[in-house]
Structure 1
C-alpha cells in the first residue's frame, strides 16, 4: 500500500488501492447517505425554530434561514434518490449473479418493437454498470446543487451584513455615506462578473487579459460563496461533458435549485391553503388546539383545547405575513418596522377595525391583544383572553376573519389573493364545559 501511494505521488497514475476504493465506494456511499439523511431530516425544523426565536418573520435573516432549510431539503432529496438508485443497483447485481445471461429473449417470444427493444437494451451487466455510474453521479451532483444554493445564501448574507450592520453605522457619519455607496456598487458589479463567469464555464478564466486580475476576484468569492467545497466536483463534471452540453450544466444547476425552491414554496402554500379550506368548511382540525396539534402542523390560530373547562378562552393569532400589506393605522399605511414598535393598545385598536372576532354569531367587542411569541413554534403573534361566562355550555364555533369594508383596492386585492374572508383565518369548533 505504501509503495502504491508513493508511485501515485510521482506518476499521478491511479494506484491499485484507489481503484479498490472506487469499486467498493458504494458501501461507503450508502452508509454515509443513510446517516447523513437521518441528520438532515432533523435540521430544517431546528433551523426554523431558531430563526423564529431570534429573528422577525419576514426579515432578511429569517429569509436566509429559510433558504438554508431549502438547501438542506434539496440535499436530502438527492440522497434519497441516490439510495433508491443504489437499491435498484443492488437488486440488479443479485440478478446478474443468479442469471448471468440476463433476459431470455427466446423464452419470452416477443415480436415487433418489443423484440427490438430487448435486443438493443443491452445485457444485465451493462445495466448494472450504467446504474453504478448514475448513482455515483447523483451522489456527487447532490452536493453541487446543495453547495450552489448555500453559496447563493452566503452571498445574500454579505449584502444583509452590510445593510443591517455596516450601513447604519456609516450613515451616522456623512463622510462615509458616499464611499459606502460606491463600495456596494463595485461589489454588485463584481457579483455580476462572477455570475457571468459561472454561466459561461469560466469565460474570464480562459482569457489572457482577465485571468490574472480575475483570479483574485474568484478567490475572494470562493470564500464568500463557500464554492471551494464543491468547485472541484463541478469542474470535473464540466470538463468531462463533451461539446455544447457542458455549457448547459450551469443552467441546469440554477434551474434545479431554483425549481426546487419554487416547488418547496408551492408545497408550503398548499399546506396553508388546505388549512384555510378546512377552516372555511368548519371541519374539525387538530392543528387548532394546543393540546392536540403537532409541531409540523400549520399554525394560524389556536385555542388551548377542544374542550374548555374554565371561563377563559385563550387565543393565539399568528402575525400573518399577509397582514404586512394591509397594515394601516389611523388611516395611514405603516411599514412592518413601525408596526413592531406599536404598543398593545394600538395593536388592539387596529385589530378592532380589521378583524371580526365572534363566537357563533355573536361579535366580541373591545378585545385586548398582546404581542407575544408561540411557546413551541416561536412564531410571532398575538394573544388574547375571551370571557366565556356569558355563554351557555355546549358546542360553539370561534371565528376570526378580515373585514375589508373600508380597505382600499390594493389592500383588498392582497386579502383576496390570500383567500382570507370573514371566516377563513380561523373557524374553530370547541365544547364549553361550563363550570
Structure 2
C-alpha cells in the first residue's frame, strides 16, 4: 500500500474511509460508552481508598473520573446525533427533499423556511459534519485532560523535590518552590489564554515572538506535539470552531446542574457529623458501604450487646504531626514520609533494626495514648491503643469495658491534646462523638 499523503490513490483511500467511517464511529462509541460506565465504579473505589490511605492517587483519580464523564457525555451526544443522521437518511429514501410548495404555507413563511431550514440534503450534510467533528473532539478532550494531569504532576514532583526530598532546608525548599510555582503558573496562564482564544497569541508578530519558547517547552511537558495536527485541522474548520466554543459552556452547565441539590430542611442534613443528636453511618463499621472507609473514628456497631466496645482511629499524616509535637524526642533526624523506594531502603536497614523499631513503637504508642482520651458520657477511661489494620486501613484500636455502664443510650467521646500554633499552649480538641445503645445479651 502506498502511504504517500501526496499520491492520488492514498487520497482516494482516505475519501472512501471518510464516507464509511460512521459505521466504525458507532461501533467504537458503543464499546467506549459501555466500558467507561463500568470503569467509573472501580475508579471511584480506588479514589475512596486513596483518600483514606492519603496516597498520591487521591490527586489523580478525580482527573480520571472527570475524563470518563466528559467522554461519556460527548459520546452519548454523538450517538444521538448519529442516530438522527441515520433517521434522516432513511426518511430521505422515502420522501426525498423538502417540498415547500406542497406545504402550501404563505410566501412569508415559505421564504423564511427556505432560508433558515434549507434543503433536506443540507440538513443531512450538517449532521454528518457535527457527528464527525464531535467524535474527533471527544478524544481530543481526553488528550487535553492528560496534558492538564501532566502539568499538575510536574508541580507535585517539584514540591516533592524542593520540600520533601531533604536536599534543602524546610525554609529554603518552600521559598524555592514558591518562586518556581508562581513562575510556572504564570506560564500556564499564558498557555491557557492562547488555548481559550483559539491561538490568538500566535497571530500577532510581537506576541508570537515571545510566546514561541513557551509554546515549545509546553509542547514537551504536555505531550501536545502528539495531537496538535488534530487541533489545527479542527480549528481551520468553521464547524470545528463552533463546537470548540460550545463545549466549554456545555461542560460548565452540566457541572452546575450536577451540583444542584434539593434542600428539604433548614436544619436537618444527611451529611452531619455524629453527635448526641445524630448518628453518621461512617462511624459504625457494620454500616459502612462497599468501598467506604472510616474518616475519623469508628465503633463496631450502633447497638452493642457485648460487655466491651472497640474504638478504631484511622492513621493520618496529621496524627503523626500531633504526636511529634507532643513528644519532641520522637522527631526523626530525617523525615522519611512521602515517596520512598522500598527496594533500596531494604538494603539500608542496619542490624538490630527490629529491636529499635519495637522500642520506638512503644514510645510512639505511649505518646498516642497520652494524647487521645476516651470517655463514655461523663466517665473517662484510660487509653490503651495498639496499632491495628481494620477495613484495609492502618490505625489504632482500643477496647473499652462496659461493665459499669447501664443499659440505654450513651455517647462515646474521643478527644486529643494539641498544641496551638499561635499561643503555643496545649488545648483539648474534640475528634468525634458517637452515640450508641448498650443492652446486655441474655
Quote the residue 2:272 is aligned against.
277
Name the SS of the counterpart of 2:274 in structure 1.
Answer: helix
The alpha carbon displacement at 1:19 in A equals 1.9
Quote the residue 2:69 is aligned against.
77
Q: Where does structure 1 lack aligned partners over 5 or more consecutive residues?
A: 268-272, 416-420
Quote the residue 2:234 is aligned against.
237
The alpha carbon displacement at 1:370 in A equals 5.0
Quote the residue 1:347 is aligned against.
368
1:365 corresponds to 2:381: yes
Greater gyration radius: 2
Q: Where does structure 2 lack aligned partners over 5 or more consecutive residues?
A: 262-267, 338-359
Q: Where do 1:169-208 residues align within 5 Å?
A: 170-171=167-168, 191=188, 194-202=191-199, 205-206=202-203
After superposition, the CA RMSD in angstroms is 5.9
Question: Which of the residues 381, 392, 404 maps onto 1:390?
Answer: 404
Structure 2 contact 372–414 (Cα < 8 Å) conserved? no
Question: Hey, what's the Cα distance between the residues in 1 that align with 2:402 and 2:412?
Answer: 14
Moved more, 193-202 or 114-123: 114-123
1:312 corresponds to 2:303: no
Quote the residue 1:429 is aligned against.
436
For residues 281-339 of structure 1, what are the alpha-carbon distances to aligned partners after superposition, in whole Å with 9 as ceiling and x for unaligned? 8566554433342234463332223454543322223468999999996699xx9x99x
Question: Which of the residues 132, 139, 159 maps onto 1:163?
Answer: 159
Relative distance call for 1:284 and 1:118 in structure 2 (3 A) is farther
Relative distance call for 1:428 and 1:138 in structure 2 (3 A) is farther
Structure 2 contact 75–138 (Cα < 8 Å) conserved? no
Structure 1 contact 75–142 (Cα < 8 Å) conserved? no
The alpha carbon displacement at 1:161 in A equals 1.9
1:375 corresponds to 2:382: no
Question: Hey, what's the Cα distance between the residues in 1 that align with 2:437 and 2:38?
Answer: 38
Name the SS of the counterpart of 2:7 in structure 1.
Answer: helix
Relative distance call for 1:178 and 1:122 in structure 2 (3 A) is closer
Quote the residue 1:291 is aligned against.
286
The alpha carbon displacement at 1:186 in A equals 6.9
- TM-score of the pair, normalised by structure 2: 0.61
The alpha carbon displacement at 1:10 in A equals 1.8
For residues 200-254 of structure 1, what are the alpha-carbon distances to aligned partners after superposition, in whole Å with 9 as ceiling and x for unaligned? 54456556678689666534423322334543333333332489x78x959975x
Question: Hey, what's the Cα distance between the residues in 1 that align with 2:7 and 2:364?
Answer: 73
Structure 1 contact 48–69 (Cα < 8 Å) conserved? yes
Name the SS of the counterpart of 1:222 in structure 2.
Answer: helix
Name the SS of the counterpart of 1:364 in structure 2.
Answer: strand
- TM-score of the pair, normalised by structure 1: 0.62
